[in-house]
Amino acid sequence: MKPLHELTATEIVHAIAAGKTTCEAVTRACLDHIAARESQVEAWTFLDPDLALKQARAIDGRSSAGALHGVPVGIKDIIDTCDMPTEYGTPIHKGHRPRIDAAVVALTRRAGGVIMGKTVTTEFANFFPGKTRHPMDPQRTPGGSSSGSAAAVGDAMVPLAIGTQTTASTIRPASFCGCVGYRPTWGDIRCHGVMEASGSVDTVGLIARSVEDVALYRDVLAGVPHEPLPADAGTAPRIGFARTHLWAQCEPETRNLLEECARRLAKAGARVTDLSLPAEYERVEDAHRWITSFEFARNRAWEIDNHWERISEKLRNNRINDGLACSMEKYTASRAFAEHARLKMDDLFADYDVLLTPAVAGEAPLGLASTGNASFCAIWTTVHVPALTLPLFTGPHGLPVGAQLVARRGADRALFQVARWVQRAHARGLTRP
């Protein structure tokens, strides 16, 4: 067996069920790994080993096992926890202790998860970075805004973490940190107790080290019985290769890796065809900008009026000023256009099971002042489709680069299935070049 802290959630659940280990042992292994690595990665904004172990022992004492029995989980620090601080990545809320758990946290505990601690977020899940560094290179960003969640899972500190996504905040850091990142169909998972950045596009996001784990945790957070994915990865899918108008923003190596991947998947039996999105989709990112800025600026009304000087200049001068300057008419028109793009996207999926598209420009960039280019997710986030990044590639510096798959709204389970097929076909291509 692998070291306990390297097990996936699914493996932990099975190992505990088989009597091979305990929740306490797994939690301890994760805590030990965190203790060894945290000074370099700084993924956590709150971590209390005693509290985690106390939860673990209580779970070991439960008479019946939930779907996530014994699995340690990291929670992005814009999500409320009743027994840990929640500070939203800002000094304004230093020491804040919510009264109750967010819905997703309560559902995690119900299923037997251990709330390991709170992971670093950028300021209000926006631009301004937290302290976290890339697990494989401390000179590089882990991506944002779910920086700590991705770094913690990528570094094997925990097998699962919750993030959120308003633009690229799950897919981008998961891609940089070599994780499987998943943003669900908008609306499928309840956000009560999650700080709202922009309700029109916000979702909870999941970060894991396997597609099975993402499928498992999604059922837990949707509050429905877990139905494992079939062992068989199913028939070869119909894949649309959507380079999008942002293709030139991808680094040449990333373009090559994606082209090569598309060829390999076709060779393995997938029907891979190029999909050029209609030109109007080039305007979706602009609509996204006005929707998210308008909503963010209103949601932060209390902080703007009471703590303006403690908000970073970067956030004030961009998102907030954009939002305050945006008229109701512009906001409404942007929402109407987003809905139009959403409905049209449903139709585009008639011929495809998934689209293959860049997740990021390339490897995590050097420097900690920015969390990287978010544009590659803006269309998909705005049109509410489920998206998943798979750690298929290695970039020129030996760092991970994700490949993004997106599916039709509501086709999350089908997306998981295809993702496994893609992962296997890609791996076979690697071993038999």
Does the protein bind its own copies through residue 345 (CB under 8 A)? no
Of 23 and 195, CB closest to its own copies: 195
Contact flag: residue 100 with its own copies (CB under 8 A): yes
How many CB atoms lie under 10 A from the CB of residue 21? 18
**Residue 175's closest CA among 403, 398, 374, 423?**
403
Q: In the bound complex, what is the minimum distance in angstroms from residue 192's beta carbon to its own copies?
A: 4
| Nearest partner of 5 among 39, 44, 33, judged by Cα | 33
Task: Give the whole-angstrom CA distance, residue 202 versus residue 424.
Answer: 31
325 lines the binding site for its own copies (CB under 8 A): no
Site track for its own copies across 167-206, x = CB under 8 A: --------------------xx-xxxx-xx--xx------
How many residues line the site for its own copies (CB under 8 A)?
Answer: 45
Nearest to 121 by CA among 104, 100, 92, 142: 142
Residue choice 256, 332, 366, 424 for contact with its own copies (CB under 8 A): 332
By the rule CB under 8 A, 87 interacts with its own copies: no
Does the annotation count 147 as an active-site position? Answer: no
Is 245 one of the binding residues for its own copies (CB under 8 A)?
Answer: no
Length of the chain: 433
Interface pick for its own copies out of 50, 274, 305, 313 (rule CB under 8 A): 305
Question: Per-residue string for binding with its own copies, 123-142, x by CB under 8 A?
Answer: --------------------
| Tokens coding 60 | 């070991």
Of 413, 383, 407, whose CA–CA distance to 187 is shortest? 383
Q: Estimate the crossing angle of helix 103-110 against helix 211-222, to 10 degrees.
A: 110
Q: How far apart are CA 277 and CA 360, in angstroms?
A: 18
334 is catalytic: no
Residue in 106, 171, 207, 311 binding its own copies, rule: CB under 8 A = 106
Q: Please choose, from the candidates 234, 201, 164, the residue with its C-alpha nearest in 3D space to the C-alpha of residue 414.
A: 234
CA neighbor of 356 nearest in space, from 233, 266, 223: 266
Task: Give the nearest distance from C-beta 99 to its own copies in angstroms.
Answer: 5
64 catalytic? Reply is no
Q: At what angle do helices 328-348 and 375-382 cross, to 10 degrees?
A: 80
Structural tokens at position 34? 């965190």
Q: Which CB sits closer to its own copies, 255 or 298?
A: 298
Residue of 336, 343, 299 lying closest to 319 (CA atoms): 299
Contact region with its own copies (CB under 8 A), list: 102-110, 176-184, 276-284, 314-322: 102-110
Q: Which is nearer to its own copies, 78 or 364 (CB)?
A: 78
Q: Please, what is the minimum distance in Å from the beta carbon of residue 138 to its own copies?
A: 34
What is the contact surface with its own copies in residues (CB under 8 A)? 82, 93, 96, 99-103, 105-107, 109-110, 187-188, 190-193, 195-196, 199-200, 219, 222-224, 295, 297-305, 324, 327-328, 332, 335-336, 343, 410
Active-site positions read 76, 145, 169
